[in-house]
Structure 1
């Protein structure tokens, strides 16, 4: 996992979009905005005791696996555009990359974009109420496990969604850090 502040370029969303010079973002800075990260062994995800421990501790009771690639995901380009729309969820978003690569972009306390490059073995949680988006990198392939507390909730609320109670709760949590 690597994270950095993004440039404002309108070029292909699948490019890294690093500033020049690059401005890396440390894991500790991500934690301050509620983003948490683990490095796991994706080769043993089906029987990984570390994944089981995390799931048990955090209450991740539901999982499924998605393959994001041009030849298996219907309307691939349209789906990528939808994933890239800035949005929030009422629940945490938890993703574990089992193969391939992709980017999660999140807003920091000052509303600047941070790009998080994820690859095989990377697991991340984005807190409910954080504005974020997802895109592939130039490989156009990721296999990911989606994890949920309880039944899965797929609803995304595009920005602006500042009036949502969960957004206000999230913003208040930033004041405490």
Structure 2
């Protein structure tokens, strides 16, 4: 890592503790840029999720910018203009300008297209099981809205709202999941470099997997290089309990 990059990362981290407990969002999160929607802000989830389709912020809320989410998890969160037409071929073309991943699969979960509410919950369960992949993967939201959840090294979940045009690039070994919001309508194109990276390794069976261990060591190394304060947080969110529906 170059000295300038280390300096920028350290500078981004320096004000994190003040921003996390500030209910008022940073000013830049309230601005728009051309056709790009308002910048989104993530937050830490509370330990007990009563209704997973809600925001479930801590009290007081602990907000994180996309830059801070990157520093905590190595996830890249961004946005691309998918255009006004519902053209899957064009969507994939624009997405591959971000990461030229040849494999793609369109996945949808729409309450209006499922046979009943139970069918929506069952599909949402599959999205909500947290897992990691071997190799970098990318997701692009093509329609609807929801949440992207990612786990930090302390075992805490960070939730980030997602909608059309949002892109998230997930590093190898990082636990993550997708959650519907109360509208229960979300379409995503899943993109991979190869078939191997389409495999999912679920928590908690995969905690001792070398890929997950390597990811943890890499993130700890980043913290050491930037003198990050780091305290382990015992325990993980109970995967079964977190699947409770309203």
Alpha-carbon contact 1:42-1:99 (below 8 Å) kept: no
**Residue number in structure 2 paired with 1:61:** 102
Structure 1 residue 135: Cα displacement: 1.0
Equivalent residue of 2:97, what SS?
helix
CA distance in 2, matches of 1:146, 1:152: 14
Q: How many residues align?
A: 174
Alpha-carbon contact 2:140-2:167 (below 8 Å) kept: yes
CA distance in 1, matches of 2:99, 2:170: 15
Deviating more after overlay: 153-162 vs 140-149: 153-162
Alpha-carbon contact 1:67-1:73 (below 8 Å) kept: no
**Residue number in structure 2 paired with 1:176:** 221
Give unmatched runs, 5+ long, in structure 1: none
Alpha-carbon contact 1:92-1:127 (below 8 Å) kept: yes
What is the TM-score normalised by the length of structure 1?
0.87
Give unmatched runs, 5+ long, in structure 2: 1-39, 223-246
| Greater gyration radius | 2
CA distance in 1, matches of 2:134, 2:64: 25
Structure 1 residue 110: Cα displacement: 1.5
RMSD: 2.1
The match for 1:70 among 105, 111, 133 is: 111
Equivalent residue of 1:129, what SS?
coil
The aligned runs of 1:25-174 (5 Å cut-off) are 25-32=64-71, 33-43=73-83, 46-47=89-90, 51-56=95-100, 60-72=101-113, 75-151=119-195, 153-160=197-204, 161-174=206-219
Q: Taking structure 1 as reference, are residues 138 and 107 closer, same or farther at Cα in structure 2, changes over 3 Å only?
A: same
Equivalent residue of 1:137, what SS?
strand
What is the TM-score normalised by the length of structure 2?
0.64
Considering fraction of residues, name the structure with more strand: 1
Larger RCO: 1 or 2 (CA < 8 Å, sep 6+):
1
